[in-house]
Amino acid sequence: MDIFLQQLINSLSVASVTILIGMGITLIFGLAGIVNFAHGEFLMVGGMVTWLLVMAGVNFFIAMFGAMAAVGVLGYVAERTLFRFTLNRPMNGFIMSIGLSVILQNVVIKALNEVQKSIPDPIAKVWVIGGVDIIAMRAIVVAITVVVVAITYFGITRSRYGVALRASVSDQDTAALMGIPVRRYVTGVFIYGSVLAGLGGALMIALFPITPFTGSVVIIRGFAVSLIGGLGNVGGAVVGGLVLGLVDALSAQYGYPQWTDAYSLVVMIVILILRPQGLLGGTLGPRAT
């Protein structure tokens, strides 16, 4: 049982990174209507920026904010120079984003190299709670994710900006008639989702080494998470991340761990067949009337 608990907490920290990337995708896809297949590379860039800063002697937690800012700027530039022109043709945007992901991968390989990068444990403590060894950094990753999820959830459901955002998603024209600058909200959501990818990258490199190819692995899980939960639904991304985390934990303990990704995708397929709108239900992106 103790081993299972440890495994569960380890899985929760991995699930946290998955939740962050899934939440970014779910917001950008479900609310801004943009399918950004380069979102995984955004996370990878966040991890690389963290690595560069930490190697330059910057404290990890400051480097984490640096990664969020850098990927936020990357998202802003990508939205203003690329995705803004494909808003009415999401399929074109999707294809373009595949190109963007290849470019980002190769730019990173050119600028650095293909070798995997890691940083020393930012906090190398182990807490023992009730006989269970908890690696401190993993607990901190979970805690940061919980805070970010809470901020995002209440921001969307309670704040004035969240209400305006949801109004823009359900009916662009009528939202504009309320005086809501719909375009600016689309840009804002894209930047916010990108910042989450930057944070995910920083937290990921705090847990494991990453390579320039990490993005293409996490993007599949990210889309799985957002589809399992329901597009545009923050709670859904959390549920989706936890479902995949649980599958990870169980397969690592009781199944064949090398099949983890296959289990996750089978779970996604089964859920989408039974509930096409996702477990918690989602949007279909902004619609013009």
Partner 1 sequence: MTLLQVEHLGTAYGPVTVNRDVSLTVGQNEIVTILGPNGAGKSTLLRAISGLLKPRSGSIRFDDRDVTNTPADRAVGLGIIMVPEGRKIFADMTVRENLRLGAYARKDRDAVEEDVKLMESYFEILAQKRGAKGGELSGGQQQMLAIARGLMARPRILLLDEPSLGLSPKLVKDLRAVIMDVKKTFASAVLLVEQNAGLALTVAERGYLLHNGRIVASGPISELRDDRLMRDLYLGNTPQGH
Supply the minimum distance, in Å, between the C-beta of residue 174 and partner 1. Answer: 4
* Chosen residue from 56, 91, 128, 177 binding partner 1 by CB under 8 A: 177
Per-residue contact flags (x/-) with partner 1 for residues 157 to 176, judged by CB under 8 A: ---x--xx-xx--xx-xxxx
Residues in the interface with partner 1 (CB under 8 A) total 18
Do 204 and 42 contact (CB within 8 A), yes or no? no
Contact indicator for 225, 22 with CB cutoff of 8 Å: yes
Please report how close the Cβ of residue 276 comes to partner 1 at its closest, in angstroms.
19
- Please identify, using beta-carbon distances, which residue of 198 and 232 lies nearer to partner 1: 232
- Kindly state the smallest distance separating residue 179's Cβ from partner 1, in Å: 3
Minimum distance of partner 1 from residue 133's CB (angstroms): 46
> Which residues have a Cβ under 8 Å from the Cβ of 193 and sit 6 or more positions away?
23, 24, 25, 27, 28, 32, 36, 39, 75
Q: Which residues contact 191 (CB under 8 A, 6 or more apart)?
A: 72, 75, 76, 79
Whichever of 40 and 278 has its CB closer to partner 1, that residue is 278
Indicate which single residue of 182, 203, 219, 238 sits in contact with partner 1 (rule: CB under 8 A): 182
How far from 39 is each of 59, 225, 250, CA to CA, in Å? 25, 13, 27
Binding mask 66-105 for partner 1 (x = CB under 8 A): ----------------------------------------
Residues 133-162, one symbol each (x = binds partner 1 by CB under 8 A, - = not), give: ---------------------------x--
For 173, the token pair is 């024209």
The number of angstroms, rounded, from the C-alpha of 231 to the middle of its chain's C-alpha atoms is: 13
Q: How far is the CB of 36 from partner 1 (least distance, A)?
A: 25
Nearest to 14, CA basis, from 261, 213, 265? 261
Which C-beta is closer to partner 1: that of 84 or that of 166?
166
Q: Report the C-alpha gap between 242 and 229 in whole angstroms.
A: 10
Between 77 and 178, name the residue whose CB sits nearer to partner 1: 178
Q: How far is the CB of 177 from partner 1 (least distance, A)?
A: 5
* Structure tokens that stand for 275 in this block: 């509930």
Nearer to partner 1, 171 or 261 (CB): 171
Distance of alpha carbon 277 from alpha carbon 230, whole angstroms = 6
d(CA 70, CA 245) in angstroms, rounded, equals: 28
Strand partners, 133: 128
Q: Which stretch binds partner 1 (CB under 8 A): 7-15, 135-143, 179-187, 226-234?
A: 179-187
| Neighbouring-strand partners of residue 196 | none
Residues 50 and 203: their CA atoms lie apart, in Å, by 9
Binding test (CB under 8 A) with partner 1, winner from 180, 203, 237, 268: 180
Instruction: Return residues touching partner 1 (CB under 8 A).
Output: 160, 163-164, 166-167, 170-171, 173-182, 289
